[in-house]
């Protein structure tokens, strides 16, 4: 595959610490079809724009940091990176020739043809499961999560590692208050109200390829971007989850996955 193929890159992080194992060079690709209400990078949604790079140009840029990211590697994120599947596939293969570990952070929305080939070429998939309920996922992002589970199945067949990422959005993917709007007084009450989330945790136990599950608390750090872009921010009144509720969720996950 030609290394002169061009891709459109939104931004770059040279020493990322939260996008896979070790320190990583992170390439954020431009463009995403999902409209996640909790997205903190709505500036990546547009399919046009971004800075143009050939595969060779990007590899050359990454090689400057090889010493610093030796413990980690490269993560191709977005936006939705597999929208530019041919570029991501060519970049992944080129990086493998240079000895880099490559992770792709994806929703799985593209999982056929070159997109599936790229996903299977990656050493690690960071798979974003938006909700464990199909209809709720569609309301939250514009799409169900069938595509995510389909990609997970493909990785399972080849026993290729996956890390799951799931954002806990109070009132949507995480129930943090009772029907009267009061915080739960015990972990038992919380578990009773979160059968959907706990069911998703149990479902993930069916996949031996899942090495790690990250429950990510909803935050509002990207709210200002919606204002700058004149996009409506539908979660403006949604509070970030409390430390107690986050602890309950993580306790439950540890029990189920041990």
Q: Return the CATH number at 11.
A: 3.20.20.70
pTM of the model: 0.95
- Residue 13 falls inside a structural domain: yes
Q: Print the domain residue range for 47.
A: 6-168+209-230
- Residue 242 falls inside a structural domain: no
Place of tokens 């979660």: 235
pLDDT tens for each residue of 45-72: 999 989 999 999 999 999 999 999 999 9
- Residue 15 falls inside a structural domain: yes
The pLDDT value given to residue 2: 64
142 has a pLDDT exceeding 90: yes
- Residue 215 falls inside a structural domain: yes
The residues, ordered by sequence, that sit 6+ positions from 55 with a Cβ below 8 Å of its Cβ are 2, 3, 4, 5, 7, 87, 90, 91, 94
Count CA within 13 A, CB hemisphere, residue 34.
Answer: 30
Domain count, the chain: 1
Q: Are strands 73-77 and 102-106 parallel, antiparallel or unpaired?
A: parallel
């Amino acid at each position: 595959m030609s290394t002169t193929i061009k891709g459109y890159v939104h931004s770059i992080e040279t020493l990322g610490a939260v996008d896979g194992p070790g320190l990583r060079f992170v390439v954020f690709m431009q463009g995403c079809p999902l409209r996640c209400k909790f997205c903190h990078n709505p500036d990546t949604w547009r399919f046009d724009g971004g800075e143009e790079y050939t595969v060779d140009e990007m590899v050359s840029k990454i090689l400057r940091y090889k010493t610093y990211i030796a413990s980690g590697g490269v993560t191709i994120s977005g936006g939705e990176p597999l929208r530019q599947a041919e570029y991501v596939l060519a970049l992944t293969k080129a990086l493998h020739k240079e000895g880099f570990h490559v992770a792709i952070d994806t929703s799985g929305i593209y999982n056929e043809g070159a997109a599936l080939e790229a996903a299977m070429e990656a050493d690690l998939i960071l798979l974003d499961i938006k909700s464990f309920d199909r209809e709720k996922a569609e309301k939250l992002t514009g799409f169900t999560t069938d595509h995510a589970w389909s990609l997970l199945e493909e990785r399972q067949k080849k026993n290729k590692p996956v890390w799951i990422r799931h954002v806990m959005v109070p009132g949507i993917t995480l129930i943090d208050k009772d029907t009267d709007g009061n915080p739960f007084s015990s972990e038992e009450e919380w578990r009773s109200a979160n059968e959907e989330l706990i069911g998703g945790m149990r479902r993930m136990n069916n996949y031996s390829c899942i090495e790690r599950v990250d429950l990510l608390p909803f935050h509002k750090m990207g709210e200002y971007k919606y204002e700058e872009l004149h996009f409506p921010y539908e979660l403006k009144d949604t509070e970030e989850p409390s430390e107690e509720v986050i602890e309950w969720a993580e306790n439950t996950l540890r029990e189920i996955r041990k």
